[in-house]
Structure 1
Amino acid sequence: MRRVRSIAGDSVNLLLYRELLRCDDSAEEALWRLNPQLAEQGPVLPAGVGIVLPELDSRSLAPTTVSAWD
């Protein structure tokens, strides 16, 4: 597991995207499980908060196509 520090104005989604190039529900859930104290910081994190990043399986970043005619 890798440890990082937040930048002023970070949100959990922004931090996940910047560090892991993912901000989906499973990545966010894994981060909250590793960092339960993070909720005390509020939706916008102050600078310098230590965060443990989850180790996630790599996923295809290709979006799924949705058709109105399916």
Structure 2
Amino acid sequence: MQRVVKTIAGDSVNRLLWRELRRDDDSAEEALWSLNPGLAAYGPLLPAGIRVVLPDLEQRRHQAQRAVTAWD
């Protein structure tokens, strides 16, 4: 079952994806656009109260990156 959320004032697709899924990468954005074809008509900033279907995506694990030091 797909999850549906409502936008808040000032939301963008990236902000919505990050707030709800902790992802804002290209594949997450592409999946969201395909589930919500009329969403682009609102422009880059979405008005409050728009119902948006979220894609069902795997959570990506953040890989710890090794710190670079002056001795590397």
Q: TM-score, normalised by structure 2?
A: 0.84
The letter of the residue matching 2:18 is Y
Local SS of the residue matching 1:4: strand
Cα–Cα, structure 1 residues 25 and 64, in superposed 2: closer, same or farther, change >3 Å?
farther
The residue type paired with residue 55 of structure 1 is: D
Match of 2:48 in 1: 47
Aligned to 1:4: 5
**Matched length:** 66
The structural deviation recorded for 1:62 is 2.4
Give the share of equivalent positions with the same residue, in percent: 61
CA deviations 1:12-59 (Å, max 9, x no partner) are 000000000000000000000000100000000000000000000121
Name the CA distance, whole Å, in 2 between partners of 1:52 and 1:19: 11
Cα distance, 1:61 vs structure 2: 2.0
Taking only aligned residues, the RMSD between alpha carbons, in angstroms, comes to 1.5
Secondary structure of 1:51's counterpart equals strand
Looking at CA atoms only, which structure, 1 or 2, has the larger radius of gyration? Answer: 2
Q: Does 1:27 align with 2:28?
A: yes
In the TM superposition, what is the alpha-carbon distance from 1:64 to its structure 2 partner? 6.1
Structure 1 stretches of 5 or more lacking a match?
A: none
